[in-house]
Amino acid sequence: MNRTDYIARIKAAYEGELFGEAWFAAMAADAMAPDRRRKLAAMAQLEYQTRMRMMPLVTRLGITGIDEAAQREKGIRLAREHAGQSWPAFISWFIEEIARFVTLYDEMERTSTEEDAAILAELARHERALLEFARLEAAGRPDRSLERVLALLDNRDCVNNP
């Protein structure tokens, strides 16, 4: 992959974390069930943490032109689209959607430069945790679904983003 494509993928991944953080946070705010609210809030926190960990990479690569407000609005819009949808229908859709990103981020990890490998490995790992969450929810294991997400969360990174 050439450098232009590589940088474009990193930028898109960073924007995806902004989008995902807003999406999960908006869904959490609207969730009626406390358990779902807690799970969605944890996933928003993971998106925030991953985005913050990507920031040095974005800065080092000189990536500019990120419209944070537009990405957040996209996330909020998607949350509105899912409002009122049943949890099983959402989870089914989410499994298909997130699987595409697992494939993409696993490829980014495999093709990364040595200097970027750790950050991109974390990006891929967080996406796999979200997929595992959805698969466990679909399999009727809501009691265990959040374990990998919580295992990735580092509360020190989350102090300023409740």
The pTM assigned to this predicted structure is 0.91
pLDDT of residue 154: 79
What's 115's DSSP letter?
Answer: G
Q: Are 28 and 8 in contact (CB under 8 A)?
A: no
Q: How many CA atoms lie within 13 A of 92 on its CB side?
A: 5
Domains parsed from the chain with CATH numbers: 3-158 (1.20.1260)
Burial grade of 52 (CB within 10 A; 0-12, 13-18, 19 or more) = middle
Residue carrying the six token digits 């981020």 = 105
Q: Please tell me the predicted confidence (pLDDT) of residue 3.
A: 87
Tokens coding 121:
């490995």
How many Cα atoms sit within 13 Å of 153 on the Cβ side? 20
Q: pLDDT tens digits for the chain (162 residues)?
A: 788 999 999 999 999 999 999 999 999 999 999 999 999 999 999 999 999 999 999 999 999 999 999 999 999 999 999 998 999 999 999 999 999 999 999 999 998 888 999 999 999 999 999 999 999 999 999 999 999 999 999 754 443 444
